[in-house]
Amino acid sequence: MSNNNLVVKIAQPYASALLDLANSKKAIEQISQDMKLIEDILLQSAKLKYFLANPLKTIGAKKQVITATFGDQISENTLSFLMVLVDRKRIAMLDVIASKYLELAYEMESLTIANISTSIALNSDQENLLTDKIKAMTNAKEVKLVISVDPELIGGFTIQIGSKVIDTSIRGQLRQMASHLDVAAI
């Protein structure tokens, strides 16, 4: 079993417990916003992620940093949950727990997350059309588009929904042609 799979297996019960707490407090939306904020901050700050993962830092120091960093930006329930993670020495997995929580919360709300990479920015009509097509493909009630512009695609776009990838980009077509040429040359 790879190390990443082990981390996900350990993170799953914590994410589920947080979802249960959010559900019981009728605060799924609030805690989802909190976890998205935490996930974004951890992606932007490698130093914070390293600090929280460092076993030489004391529990008290980690709690102080968490309170100083997130205290006024997240709800009391989320802050308490983070303190439990520190106490149980699972705070190093916060990014995975946040990601897993969001995945579970979106799944519970029948919300599908579609990561879209385009060569140019989409206008609102194109986004709406894409949302409708993805809803039809996935039978989801709601679709959230996470759009990024990648000029290296040359033209077209790629869609990633879970582990499924749809590549309509020119770069993808060129790669596909190159792979066929490599096979034919052998």
pTM (global) more than 0.75 = no
Which architecture does CATH list for 2-107? Orthogonal Bundle (1.10)
| Overall average pLDDT of the 85-92 stretch | 94
Question: Please, what's the b/e burial string for 148-181 (b: 16 or more CB within 10 A of its CB; e: otherwise)?
Answer: eeeeebeebbbbebeeeeebebebbeeeeeeeee
Query: Regarding beta strands 142-149 and 157-161, do their DSSP bridges make them parallel or antiparallel, or are they unpaired?
Result: unpaired
Give the tens place of pLDDT for each residue, 68-83.
Answer: 999 899 999 999 999 9
Give the tens place of pLDDT for each residue, 128-152.
Answer: 999 999 988 888 888 888 888 888 8
Most confident of 49-58, 97-106, 134-143: 49-58
* Whole-number pLDDT of residue 152: 87
- Please list the residue range(s) of the chain that carry CATH number 3.40.30: 110-182
CATH code of the domain occupying 110-182: 3.40.30
